[in-house]
Amino acid sequence: MKLPLKWLADYVNIGNPDIKDYCEKMTATGSKVEGFEILGEDISNVVVGKINAISKHPNADKLVVCSIDVGEAEPLQIVTGAKNVNVGDKVPVALNGANLPGGVKIKTGKLRGETSQGMLCSIGELNLTTHDMPGAIEDGILILPTDAPVGTDIKEYLMLSDTVVEFEITPNRPDCLSVIGLARESAVTMDSELKLRTPEIKDCDGKVEDYISVRVDEPTLCPRYTAKVVHNVKIEPSPLWMRSRLRAAGVRPINNIVDITNYVMLEYGQPMHAFDYKCLDGKQIVVRCADEGEIFKTLDSNDRTLKSSMLVIADAEKPVALAGIMGGENSEITDDTKTVVFESANFYGAGVRITSRALGMRTESSGRFEKGLDPELTMDAVNRACELVQLLGAGTVAEGTIDIYPEKKAETVIKLEPERISNFLGTYISEADMRATLEKLCFRLDGDKIYVPSYRSDVECMNDIAEEVIRIYGYNKIESTRFRTSAAEGKLTPKQRYYRGLCTALCGMGLNEIQTFSFISPKYYDKINLPEESVIRNSVVISNPLGEDTSVMRTTAIPSMLEVLARNNNYNNTDAALYEMAKVYIPREGIVTNDKGIPGTLPEEKTKVVIGTLKGDFYALKGIVEAVVEFTGVKDVEFEAVTTCPIFHPGRCAKIVKDGIELGIFGQVSYGVCENYSIDKPVFVADLDFELLLANAGDVAQYKPLPKFPAVTRDFSFMCDVDLEAAKIEKVIKKSLGKLLDGVKLFDIYIGAQTGGKKSISYSVSLRAPDRTLTAEETEAAISKMLANLDKELGITIRS
């Protein structure tokens, strides 16, 4: 809301405060100031001048030399190229040293050899439009009225100076979207006198009933409909003072009748509409719901297809306005309008909101109605409009007012509980102070009853009264205290502790944490080569996304990681090693109604630990994965080769399995996927399930006595098929040695000319008993059994 301070002065005398001080104080009492603008600041030394003589420029055909009276002893000589000036015209003259909008400075100089002591101004040069200055032309000098006093500062003459304060009004205070509303707040804030007045209409002619009747079919959607008629209308531009105020408030002047409706809306906060009476069939206004599918052309020349839930203002035959949103082209005010019906109505906010959203139409009017306006406003507003008609001489007001207001809005009454308010705020404010504040805010007090003004529908309960009191008393006078409450445990849950610990561990392994968007493009699934039928593509879809690239909630965070790796590779961060604690969103099957009776099922939100690196090899990544497993305390996991995952290299991918449950997958990203991301080097990615890791973490460790007896260690080299997995050999070794096994460690793998198409794999195996030194016989027996099993189960033998 833009508030011109000259307009504000009609309703409150705040003196002449420092503008910054005023803004700060208003913000402190709840009317947040976004900023202020000093209009006319960029214009100086421009005055009204009169052209005394025009002569040809001796050196230029397209220029003329004017002699101009600016109220000084000597006339000025000014060269101009404008075609529209005549001797005797009054024009704006920028004098030597003048400043014009856009940083233009005017100085005396020579134009083609002739001295020019200034410049004649067009509307554009004064930052005005033909709306601000009706009748002026854009490509010529602004010709002022003949009675403009020579020498007068143009800012004064054209009313270009004002200070405009822009407020950010919260949706609960539609009353403050008006000059009068902000005058009320200013009066309390600045401790100044509020000067409210009731509009007065005199000298009416004709009767409103003879012109029109109104019927409201939908009193819920239209609690009040007030109308007046003006005849003998003469459409013309509104006077300069009105145009100047509208312009300052950011509204484009159009003509006297339309300007009046806008002026009243800005002043009172009540949107108004003017119908051309001759376009209303049957001398009748009917407030009804639209016919389903009815087509209606609004003022902006768009055809709107209406629904039966939408409220329209109609005459006997057809809709003439979309209630509270926009008028119709069919009853618009035009230059030959002779009789006008002013509508000042109250429409139900939610109704206006539904219609305006359904039609995609947000207007100044609908924005105001949506917030819930005071039905008590309509009468003063329509009277003010007619008062202005009379002031402007724009027409003759017919006697009487049509006012359909079947159910007067009940007054809100709240009990004043001073002690409770003080306790609630934690700051003592005396009852007398509370009463004084409320009265200044126009609340009426009677004993302990507070009568809330009708325009303050946001005030409903004790909390609201407390806010009214404290915002004027001063939020910053509230004393800071520490709450007293029964002891609570401020602590992390085991899951939160694990989350933090794991992050620390991953950082300790040299990985940087990343954060990526939870929504992705469905094309991300293509980029990781998922088949069309993959269930992973089944995502939660956003119905109104910003764009395709953020339109579905990810079910996997691998593509996000690959994007980041690719970006870093492009930035030449070629040794990037990263992780993300990434949320993924897995749709749940079936439509269920939840315990609130709300249909629909929320997806399962899971956290994935996604690791990605551009350096090292498969085993470097596996080392990280194993460290995560060890840190978590998951015992006895197995790694199984995965050859069919489309994201990964079929020969370099494994899953982590614990008791048949897959805890994660990792490996080298397949070449095809790397190409999709234009990464020209090996990429390694792991995707681990945070919740499953945690769920499989071991219990609290139990101490095992440190060994007292020596271990026997033997090294073996086996020959086996190249494809035989080491894990299978280890499994047989472990099983064969049973309780005597102390450790088994791979120390060499060799494939070469001497191995004859096979591989040599070497282990160091150690045996130990907790309660005795192993004898040579015992050791040999155990080892023989192990070798026999290896031969029998895997067909491998010791390398000779």
Partner 1 sequence: MKEKLEQIKLEAVSMLEAENADLEQIRIRFLGKKGELTSVLRGMGALSAEERPVIGALANEVRQYIEERLADAAVAQKAKENEKKLAKEKLDVTLPGSKIKIGKRHPLSQVQEEIENIFIGMGFEIVDGPEVEYDYYNFTALNTPENHPARDTQDTFYITENILLRSQTSCVQARTMEHKAPPIRVISPGRVYRSDAVDATHSPMFHQIEGLVIDKGITMGDLKGTLEIFAKNMFGADTKIRFRPHHFPFTEPSAEVDVSCFVCGGEGCRLCKGEGWIEILGAGMVHPNVLRMGGIDPEVYSGFAFGLGIERVVMRRYNIDDMRLLYENDVRFLEQF
User: To the nearest whole angstrom, how small is the minimum distance from the Cβ of residue 537 to partner 1?
Assistant: 17
Cite the beta strand spans of 89-150 per DSSP E.
90-100, 104-105, 109-111, 114-116, 118-120
* Torsion sign over Cα 686, 689, 690, 692: negative
787 phi and psi, to 5 degrees? -65, -40
The nearer residue to partner 1, 195 or 523, going by C-beta atoms, is 523
Instruction: Write down the least CB distance from residue 543 to partner 1, Å.
Output: 5
Burial of 301 (0-12, 13-18, 19+ CB in 10 A): exposed
Select from 703, 692, 702 the least CA-distant residue to 498. 692
Instruction: Rank residues 432 and 546 by Cβ distance to partner 1 and give the closer one.
Output: 546
Phi-psi region of 616 (alpha: psi -120 to 50; beta: other; left: phi over 0): left
Nearer to partner 1, 208 or 466 (CB): 466
Closer to partner 1 by Cβ: residue 239 or 603: 603
Pick the closer one to partner 1 by CB: 600 or 757. Answer: 600
Nearer to partner 1, 591 or 776 (CB): 591
Distance CA 201, CA 205 (A): 11
Q: Cβ 485 to partner 1, closest distance in Å?
A: 4
Cβ proximity to partner 1: between 37 and 317 the closer is 37
Least Å from the CB of residue 777 to partner 1: 47
DSSP-assigned states of every residue in 674-715:
HHHTT--S--EEEEEEHHHHHHT---S----PPP-S--EEEE
Q: How far is the CB of 554 from partner 1 (least distance, A)?
A: 12
Smallest gap from residue 30 Cβ to partner 1 (A)? 3
| Shortest distance, position 19 Cβ to partner 1, whole Å | 15
Contact between 505 and 627 (Cβ < 8 Å): yes
**Residue pointed to by tokens 């082209």:** 329
User: Which CB, 6 or 583, lies closer to partner 1?
Assistant: 583
Both structure tokens of 269: 């906060």
Q: Would residue 234 be called left, alpha or beta, if left means φ above 0 and alpha means ψ between -120 and 50 degrees?
A: beta
What's the rounded Cα separation, in Å, for the pair 408 and 414?
19
- How far apart are CB 509 and partner 1 at their closest, in Å? 7
For 567-588, letters b (16+ CB in 10 Å) and e give: ebbeeeeeebbbbbbbebbbee
Q: Which is nearer to partner 1, 302 or 515 (CB)?
A: 515
CB of 484: closest distance to partner 1 in angstroms? 7
Whole-angstrom CA distances from 96 to 41, 123, 163 are 17, 19, 26
What is the rounded CA–CA span in Å between residue 343 and residue 386? 11
- Angle, helices 431-440 vs 179-190, to 10°: value is 150
Min CB(607)–partner 1 separation in Å? 10
Q: Which is nearer to partner 1, 518 or 766 (CB)?
A: 518
**Cβ 196 to partner 1 shortest distance, Å:** 23
Q: At residue 477, what are phi and psi to the nearest 5 degrees?
A: -90, 0
Q: Dihedral, CA atoms, 323, 326, 331, 333, nearest 10 degrees?
A: 130
DSSP letters for 466-479:
HHHHHHHH-GGGSP
Does residue 244 sit in helix, strand or coil? helix
What radius of gyration, in Å, describes the C-alpha atoms of the chain?
Answer: 42
Angle at 265 between CA 264 and CA 270, to 5 degrees: 110
**CA gap 538, 647 in Å, rounded:** 17
| Closest listed residue to residue 287, CA positions, set 264, 310, 262 | 310
Query: How would you class 65 by CB atoms within 10 Å of its CB: exposed for 0-12, middle for 13-18, buried for 19 or more?
Result: buried
Please, which residue, 260 or 377, has the CB nearer to partner 1? 377
Cα 238 from Cα 639, distance rounded (Å): 84
Report in angstroms how near the CB of residue 568 gets to partner 1 at its nearest.
5
Alpha carbons 474 and 665: distance in angstroms, whole number: 59
Shortest separation between residue 245's beta carbon and partner 1, angstroms: 27
Output 198 or 486, the one with its CB closest to partner 1: 486
- Give 80 or 607: the residue with its C-beta nearer to partner 1: 607
Q: Which is nearer to partner 1, 484 or 704 (CB)?
A: 484
Least distance in angstroms from the C-beta of 23 to partner 1: 12
Q: Cβ distance 386 to 345 under 8 Å?
A: no
**Vertex 537: Cα angle to 532 and 542 (nearest 5):** 130
In terms of CB distance, is 150 or 462 closer to partner 1?
A: 462
Nearer to partner 1, 487 or 701 (CB): 487
CB of 439 to partner 1, least distance (A): 19
DSSP codes of every residue in 24-40: HHHHHTT-EEEEEEEET
Task: State both tokens at 495.
Answer: 């899951």
How near is the Cβ of 469 to partner 1 at its closest, in Å? 9
